[in-house]
Amino acid sequence: MKRVTLAAVLMAVFTLNNVVSASATPSSEKRAKYEKTGHVFWDIPIEEKLVAFTFDDGPDPTFTPQILDALKKYKAKATFFVIGEEAERYPEIVKRQASEGHEIGNHTYRHHFRDGYSPAMLKKELDKNSEVIKSLTGIKPTLFRPIAGYYDEEIVDTAIEGGYNVILWSWHQETRDWSRPGAAKITQNVISDTRPGDVIIFHDAGGDRSQTVKAVEDILETLYKNGYQCTTVSDLLYRSNSPLPAPLH
């Protein structure tokens, strides 16, 4: 058996981190190229004081219900990009999300970062998760968020061919809540530069999200005091100045 050294493991971790970092590095030229497809979005051009809260990696039995409670308190709507395996594990949470008017997006079935990646594998992941979501909500998802925000031409083309719009997030609204910087820091990251049409990214699973729960409550209170409301990504798209392209089937 081939011996795996610590140096090799560290190099693999370093390489993966660099790949993820590179994929998330803002590039106006790269962004413009994909925006021209009419199916890839970072933020939505809109004049109304509306923003979209988005949550990745759930559902989680502890933190997702708390976030739903906070959203309900402020009559806010959000978009949850769920993992198929977790949706199957906690179906009642997904059903609650849908019944309370939230939007369910596709975040792949297994959430394995480029594990055996190919267009065929991504299509399989999207299709399987779509079946899970539709079985629980009666609605086929039309939004897809790539894992770790990584996208390339093959990923985008596969998603569009599957009838999806690819949703990233506003560059100035990367909350980094996954790093647990503290609820106050997460809150400040959002409210310090809120703009109409922002797509804000949070995570409701994948670890201890108690800071996210507290921040969401504080952000909602502040935004609503300043005349903002929270809606789904699809609602922002339909309200935007640019008409939403018809999904490809």
Residues 196-205: tens digit of each pLDDT: 999 999 999 9
Between CA 32 and CA 41 the distance in angstroms is 10
Task: Band the pLDDT of 28: cuts 50, 70, 90.
Answer: confident
> Which one-letter DSSP state was computed for residue 180?
-
Tell me what pLDDT residue 27 has: 76
Let me know if 39 is a catalytic residue. Answer: no
Helix, strand, coil content of the chain in percent (nearest 5): 50, 10, 40
- Choose, from 102, 203, 204, 218, the residue flagged as catalytic: 203
In this predicted structure, the answer to whether residue 64 has a pLDDT above a threshold of 90 is yes
- Choose, from 43, 56, 57, 204, the residue flagged as catalytic: 56
Tell me what pLDDT residue 243 has: 53
The amino acid at 207: G
Structure tokens that stand for 74 in this block = 């402020």
Tell me what pLDDT residue 15 has: 37
Residue 3, CA distances (Å) to 7, 8, 9 in order: 11, 10, 11
Tell me what pLDDT residue 107 has: 97
Nearest to 122 by CA among 96, 78, 75, 160: 160
Across 18-29, average pLDDT: 53
Task: Band the pLDDT of 12: cuts 50, 70, 90.
Answer: very low
Average pLDDT of the chain is: 88
In this predicted structure, the answer to whether residue 115 has a pLDDT above a threshold of 70 is no
Alpha helices by DSSP H, 36-103? 63-73, 84-89, 91-99
Between CA 204 and CA 164 the distance in angstroms is 22
In this predicted structure, the answer to whether residue 189 has a pLDDT above a threshold of 70 is yes
- The larger pLDDT score, comparing residue 7 to residue 88, is at 88
Between CA 141 and CA 131 the distance in angstroms is 9
Let me know if 203 is a catalytic residue. Answer: yes
Domains of the chain (ranges; CATH) run 26-239 (3.20.20.370)
Assign residue 116 a region (left: φ > 0; alpha: ψ between -120 and 50; beta: otherwise): left
